[in-house]
A and B are shown apart, each in its own frame.
Chain A
Amino acid sequence: MMPDLGKYAEAVLSSYAVSILMIVVLVMLSVRRSNRVKKELQEVESKVKSNG
């Protein structure tokens, strides 16, 4: 199944590994911050509402 990458296997595989890692980290950080900010805003809004 694995294609024969010959003498360039290291270059090709490291390109894919580094790029996919960077994309995954970017997506994870974006999702985590999105969830955190949404939760914090809900808390602040309910606090403001209760303070009148």
Chain B
Amino acid sequence: MNLNAFWEYANPKKFIQTADWLLPWFAGLAAVTLVSGLIWGFFFTPADYRQGSTVKIIYLHVPSALMAINAWLMMLVTSLIWIVRRHHVSALAARAAAPVGMVMTLIALVTGAIWGQPMWGTWWAWDPRLTSFLILFLFYLGYIALWEAIENDDTAADLTSILCLVGSVFALLSRYAVNFWNQGLHQGASLSLDKEENVADVFWYPLLVCMAGFVFLFIALVLMRTRTEIRARRMRALLARERMGA
């Protein structure tokens, strides 16, 4: 693959053209997979012999937790591109992804608490995975607040990129906490290549469709929000030029 062709998308105009073309496809895919996956999981899967009908929460909890972590990792990659190559589109893509990632983290935390209450007898425990997810949520809040607080776009992109690098530690901790901390209430990873550890097929297939739905939703929202951030940045630049000319 020609890497130079990839950098063409760092051109705001080219990015907007591509996003205009891709957005309806990803939005359509997100709608179809999310609706069908959730209907399949909610209406057509049995109750679990241990967890009863609460197992149906898995179709929201696992995909949202997956996207909460991967959204931050996507922000990490685009922040690194900004730091190294100074492409504005990459910094704006990170900015655009943050509220989406924050909502995904919030869904994972809320559904986890609602699921935990009947299973563990408590809404919350200072368990390694739960705590690292809460810290990840606070990092999302801080990241969004930092973008809003700084007027100069380049300075904001610099500082938020550094914050993103620091927060990546917690994003990775959220992912791997269950693997290396055995204490805590949270069960091991629901998804595993080990057939014995992975969830049963009857839950796995609709879960796979829901995860695809969350991924497509994330891509569609980030494309749309990045396009919006590019336009907003151009508008700020034009208004600043007008003010200087007046």
Residues of A within 8 A of B (CB): 1, 3-9, 11-12, 14-16, 18-19, 22-23, 26-27, 30-31, 33-34, 37-38, 40-41, 44-45, 47-48, 51
Select which of B57, B110, B232, B245 is within 8 A of A12 by beta carbon. B57
Given A3-B42, A11-B54, A19-B60, A41 contacting B111 (CB threshold 8 A): no
Interface residues contributed by chain B, number (CB under 8 Å): 38
| Chain B residues touching A, majority SS | helix
B residues less than 8 Å from A38 (CB atoms): 228, 231
Contact A26–B100 (Cβ < 8 Å): yes
In chain B, positions 43-85 with a C-beta closer than 8 Å to chain A are 43, 47, 52-54, 56-57, 60-61, 64
A-B pairs, 10 with minimum CB distance: A5-B53, A19-B60, A34-B228, A15-B57, A15-B111, A8-B53, A41-B235, A8-B54, A41-B231, A15-B114
Nearest A residue (CB) for B217: A23
B residues less than 8 Å from A14 (CB atoms): 114
Given A33-B228, A48-B238, A27 contacting B56 (CB threshold 8 A): no
A31 to B217 alpha-carbon distance, docked (Å): 13
| Chain A residues touching B, majority SS | helix
Contact B238–A11 (Cβ < 8 Å): no
Does B130 lie at the interface of the complex (its beta carbon under 8 Å from any beta carbon of A)?
A: no
Does B118 lie at the interface of the complex (its beta carbon under 8 Å from any beta carbon of A)?
A: yes
B residues less than 8 Å from A18 (CB atoms): 107, 110-111, 114
Nearest B residue (CB) for A33: B228
Q: Which of A19, A38, A41 has the most CB of B within 10 A?
A: A19
Contact A44–B224 (Cβ < 8 Å): no
Q: Give per-residue flags for B222-246: 1 if the beta carbon is below 8 A from chain A beta carbons, else 0.
A: 0011011001101100110110010
B residues less than 8 Å from A4 (CB atoms): 47, 53
A47 to B238 alpha-carbon distance, docked (Å): 10
Does B106 lie at the interface of the complex (its beta carbon under 8 Å from any beta carbon of A)?
A: yes
Contact A6–B47 (Cβ < 8 Å): yes
A18 to B106 alpha-carbon distance, docked (Å): 10
A residues less than 8 Å from B144 (CB atoms): none
Contact A11–B117 (Cβ < 8 Å): yes
A37 to B52 alpha-carbon distance, docked (Å): 47
A6 to B49 alpha-carbon distance, docked (Å): 13
Contact B99–A26 (Cβ < 8 Å): yes
Contact B103–A22 (Cβ < 8 Å): yes
Contact B221–A6 (Cβ < 8 Å): no
Contact B53–A23 (Cβ < 8 Å): no
